[in-house]
Chain A
């Protein structure tokens, strides 16, 4: 079996490994690099639980080959450690924004990206940004509340949805 040597930054630390070209990035992260917060739900790019940040932007790790991460920077929920990440975690807990928790790491990563890029986001924009992250437990409302409370408006002033 031919393998390809790859090296990339994983949560800020350099990693290198030798992979079969067909190995999905999601499997590489989960089963070769121990980052099991990267969940797998459909391997088709729909459910969003495998979302990671690739060079800071959300991406589906099930729709990437591990070889495509070569030379890039990958962030998983384990690596979210800045103050905003901690605020998000606290807010998710306080608002009961998770139940089974399976979608949660990906939800945090997407929300983190959104709040970094659009701290002014209102409810509709939050819902749109999270539309590619399915949750089967919460009905999204407490997730939206958790994210809204960290925007510049602090969850006030956008009753446009619904």
Chain B
């Protein structure tokens, strides 16, 4: 891939500490709620206490009488909706319209001089409801039982069927078949910074400036313009520092519309910051999948056919613009065979409405459940045939000579290292030794388990929760003094794009990192882009940076050749200086060139424009690029308490060219920690009346430092044929890890014949499943 670089790569591939860190470490970074604007009002919401109810009346007179209250809004005051496309479109109102459809749905918006007063006022608003029977079970909901969530549409809002040719015959004639049901409960991204938004008229231009921690600034601007019927060019979205997003902050939310509209109506700046309870009641939830699965296989464990009924509970509305239920199922159906060579597939998808919080994106979307299904299926087959779990994986893995490989769902795995990553992971883990240790441990009443998880990760797709822009843009300007400013339309929330994009540009331009600044998140400055989501920023943003950098470099080469009286091909760059290759004494600096380009314009080589500015858009050669890898976990389960300790954790990861291994490893660590949560801790629980019981961080358990294992990471590099050979990698670690940990728990409990098919696996589940005996049956 060396030819991808305009200069010899000094920066791409290097473990470079981030340029972002300084402001963050000094506490100087400004997150949404840190922004100070004079006369800023605060919004708070009266939220529905019922899962389903008719709104009879709203009495806000007492709220208006509280000093400091500036406005009380209902749907009548801001009759806007977030639209849904599709066969039976159901819009999501900004504030509840006649009915409430999930506990926590915003009914009334209060604006006051402080959040304290706004909360006082919310308590003073009296809403009368007639409760209705809630729809809470997704399988009953498919039959419109107990009723429809929306009168105007059946509960099933997305149904798809797919079958490979010859499926039935292959399935029927297979030597063995097993049936299993896999399930993940509701989980959520739970970024430590909650959502929030500020809308403030710009006093200089009269336009509306919107500050919001969104992953997709340009899309949010477009959405606000369209939904609130505003002129797009009179809106500016600025993304401040974002305290974690993980897909959840890609959506456009009703509260965003309410705040912008309130600022318009009141002609005063308005802010809303979610508190943690509101987060649980209004941030998109995720997962909530059921997979009814049948798998057919032969004596060696070779899988012949898979039949899967994929279901997801989409909640009360399809989250805008990305329905989590459709994402969870339709994408899972396309990669449910993972890195395994399975010829036949039959899938049926049903996504339903319910009286729960809308389902949206959370890192990995379809992936954690698909990996859990696919690895769980392989483990069950191994168990059934009394074969080693690793051996059955070897039997089924797509072989190197099969690549590029089209899976049974029609997805093309462009490249990968499936067998290699698996073998490396076994070696890294020392699989054989752990198996021996496991055996010894059992003899003294200790129960260890090994979990293996091979994953594929479709990245850089045209469409993701961030939007449907299959390209990314980058503007580069060499400033008159010779330093470089670049803008991208990305929406980072900790991924370090300011560093990685600068690394790409530095190699293209032959300048040092400290002379480049990468900006993002301001729609007034950044070229229109798709934002951050779906593991697209590295491959697409990196591609855009590469292309823009190269374009600029070509122009700089012409300058340098002209000034040094040399051929363009002979120009080389280092540290911001161009020289004639091999003759360091003859050089010009970027500063010299910039001076001519902006100030001494008569000296510009003929054919070149004035100035040094380019904007480039990069579209990858393929609609999707697959990363892959293997996770291996060793756990110990205490059968008396059900407590699980992760003893060892190995990751072999292949995301093509690494721009910055340090950042890649950080992403992997974080995803594995979230996988510990997904497998063992995190669950959003509703009661029978549709109340969300887990609305605090005492109930929704995030992994803490003592619970996350030390991870050992090995990188493999199978480049993509896109720019720089980079593939996306933000999600693979959370795609693979729940399956690895759950597999390890199941392996530990294999003496009891217990196998969990539902995530997360809680201590109580474990103890209960073992019956009254904490010692394994002999």
Binding site for B on A (CB under 8 A): 20, 22-23, 30, 34-37, 39-44, 46-47, 49, 76-78, 89, 92-94, 96, 98-105, 108, 123-124, 126-128, 130-144, 161-162
Q: Which residues of A contact B245 (CB under 8 A)?
A: 100
Task: Decide if A77 touches B21 in the complex (CB within 8 Å).
Answer: no
Task: Decide if A76 touches B696 in the complex (CB within 8 Å).
Answer: no
Taking A93-B22, A104-B24 as contacts, is the C-beta distance between A41 and B669 under 8 angstroms?
no
Q: Which residues of B contact A98 (CB under 8 A)?
A: 21, 24-25, 494
**Min CB–CB distance A65 → chain B (angstroms):** 12
Q: Could you say which of B28, B30, B193, B696 has the most chain A C-beta atoms within 10 Å of its C-beta?
A: B193
Cβ-based interface call for B326 (8 A): no
Task: Decide if A137 touches B27 in the complex (CB within 8 Å).
Answer: no
CB closest residue in chain B, given A126: B705
A-B contact pairs, 14 of them (CB 8 A): A37-B28, A39-B243, A44-B698, A47-B702, A98-B21, A98-B24, A99-B244, A99-B670, A100-B191, A100-B245, A139-B670, A140-B705, A141-B710, A161-B710
Cβ-based interface call for B386 (8 A): no
Interface residue from A46, A100, A138 paired with B697 (Cβ < 8 Å):
A46
**Min CB–CB distance A39 → chain B (angstroms):** 7
Task: Decide if B31 touches A89 in the complex (CB within 8 Å).
Answer: no
Query: 0/1 per residue, B12-29, Cβ < 8 Å to A?
Result: 000001101110111111
Q: Which residues of B contact A35 (CB under 8 A)?
A: 27
Q: Could you say which of B648, B696, B704 has the most chain A C-beta atoms within 10 Å of its C-beta?
A: B704
Task: Decide if A37 touches B496 in the complex (CB within 8 Å).
Answer: no
Q: Which residues of A contact B243 (CB under 8 A)?
A: 39, 100-102
* In the complex, number of A-B residue pairs with CB atoms less than 8 Å apart: 173
* Complex CA distance for A36 and B31, rounded to whole angstroms: 9
**Min CB–CB distance A95 → chain B (angstroms):** 8
* Complex CA distance for A128 and B672, rounded to whole angstroms: 19
Task: Decide if A128 touches B192 in the complex (CB within 8 Å).
Answer: no
Cβ-based interface call for B355 (8 A): no
Cβ-based interface call for B709 (8 A): yes
Task: Decide if A101 touches B20 in the complex (CB within 8 Å).
Answer: yes
Complex interface residues of chain B between 661 and 696 (CB less than 8 A to chain A): 662-663, 665-666, 668-674, 696
Complex interface residues of chain B between 212 and 245 (CB less than 8 A to chain A): 241-245
Complex interface residues of chain B between 32 and 72 (CB less than 8 A to chain A): 33-34, 36
Cβ-based interface call for B708 (8 A): yes
Complex interface residues of chain B between 344 and 373 (CB less than 8 A to chain A): none
Task: Decide if A102 touches B192 in the complex (CB within 8 Å).
Answer: yes
Interface residue from A23, A104, A134, A162 paired with B646 (Cβ < 8 Å):
A162
* Complex CA distance for A89 and B24, rounded to whole angstroms: 10
* Complex CA distance for A78 and B275, rounded to whole angstroms: 24
* Complex CA distance for A96 and B670, rounded to whole angstroms: 12
Chain B interface extent, by class: 35 or more
Task: Decide if B494 touches A99 in the complex (CB within 8 Å).
Answer: yes
Q: Which residues of A contact B26 (CB under 8 A)?
A: 37, 77-78, 89
Interface residue from B36, B669, B697 paired with A141 (Cβ < 8 Å):
B669
Q: Which residues of B contact A44 (CB under 8 A)?
A: 276, 696-698
Interface residue from B20, B191, B666 paired with A142 (Cβ < 8 Å):
B666
Task: Decide if B192 touches A93 in the complex (CB within 8 Å).
Answer: no
* Complex CA distance for A130 and B705, rounded to whole angstroms: 6
Q: Which residues of A contact B663 (CB under 8 A)?
A: 96
Q: Which residues of B contact A40 (CB under 8 A)?
A: 33
* Complex CA distance for A134 and B673, rounded to whole angstroms: 11
Q: Could you say which of B34, B191, B698 has the most chain A C-beta atoms within 10 Å of its C-beta?
A: B34
* Complex CA distance for A43 and B276, rounded to whole angstroms: 8
* Complex CA distance for A126 and B704, rounded to whole angstroms: 12
Q: Which residues of B contact A162 (CB under 8 A)?
A: 646-649, 709-710
Q: Which residues of B contact A105 (CB under 8 A)?
A: 27
Q: Which residues of A contact B21 (CB under 8 A)?
A: 92-93, 98, 101
Task: Decide if A37 touches B246 in the complex (CB within 8 Å).
Answer: no
**Min CB–CB distance B700 → chain A (angstroms):** 10
Taking A22-B116, A96-B18 as contacts, is the C-beta distance between A101 and B698 under 8 angstroms?
no
Q: Which residues of B contact A139 (CB under 8 A)?
A: 666, 668-674, 708, 711
Q: Which residues of A contact B209 (CB under 8 A)?
A: none
Q: Which residues of A contact B190 (CB under 8 A)?
A: 136
Cβ-based interface call for B155 (8 A): no
* Complex CA distance for A93 and B665, rounded to whole angstroms: 14
Cβ-based interface call for B493 (8 A): yes
* Complex CA distance for A22 and B207, rounded to whole angstroms: 37
Given A98-B24, A137-B244, 9 other A-B residues pairs in contact with their CB atoms under 8 A = A36-B34, A39-B192, A41-B192, A41-B697, A46-B696, A96-B665, A134-B697, A142-B666, A142-B669
Q: Which residues of A contact B276 (CB under 8 A)?
A: 41-44, 47
Taking A44-B696, A89-B25, A101-B24 as contacts, is the C-beta distance between A137 and B666 under 8 angstroms?
yes
Taking A30-B34, A36-B34, A39-B31 as contacts, is the C-beta distance between A20 and B192 under 8 angstroms?
no
Q: Give the 3 A-B CB pairs with smallest separation, nearest first.
A: A37-B27, A102-B243, A100-B494
Task: Decide if B696 touches A134 in the complex (CB within 8 Å).
Answer: no
**Min CB–CB distance B636 → chain A (angstroms):** 11
Cβ-based interface call for B329 (8 A): no
Interface residue from A23, A41, A46, A144 paired with B194 (Cβ < 8 Å):
A41
Cβ-based interface call for B706 (8 A): yes
* Complex CA distance for A138 and B672, rounded to whole angstroms: 9
**Min CB–CB distance B283 → chain A (angstroms):** 13
Complex interface residues of chain B between 119 and 159 (CB less than 8 A to chain A): none
CB closest residue in chain B, given A38: B27
Task: Decide if A128 touches B669 in the complex (CB within 8 Å).
Answer: no
**Min CB–CB distance A96 → chain B (angstroms):** 5
* Complex CA distance for A105 and B239, rounded to whole angstroms: 21
Interface residue from B17, B193, B698, B710 paired with A94 (Cβ < 8 Å):
B17
Cβ-based interface call for B319 (8 A): no
Taking A36-B27, A96-B662, A98-B25 as contacts, is the C-beta distance between A140 and B697 under 8 angstroms?
no
* Complex CA distance for A96 and B17, rounded to whole angstroms: 6
* Complex CA distance for A49 and B275, rounded to whole angstroms: 14
Q: Which residues of B contact A96 (CB under 8 A)?
A: 17-18, 662-663, 665-666
* Complex CA distance for A160 and B532, rounded to whole angstroms: 38
Cβ-based interface call for B495 (8 A): yes
Q: Could you say which of A46, A105, A137, A142 has the most chain B C-beta atoms within 10 Å of its C-beta?
A: A137
Task: Decide if A141 touches B708 in the complex (CB within 8 Å).
Answer: yes
Taking A99-B495, A138-B669, A139-B670 as contacts, is the C-beta distance between A133 and B705 under 8 angstroms?
yes
Interface residue from A30, A36, A100 paired with B242 (Cβ < 8 Å):
A100
Query: 0/1 per residue, B165-193, Cβ < 8 Å to A?
Result: 00000000000000000000000011111
* Complex CA distance for A143 and B197, rounded to whole angstroms: 30
Q: Which residues of B contact A103 (CB under 8 A)?
A: 192
**Min CB–CB distance A84 → chain B (angstroms):** 13
Task: Decide if A93 touches B17 in the complex (CB within 8 Å).
Answer: yes
**Min CB–CB distance A58 → chain B (angstroms):** 14
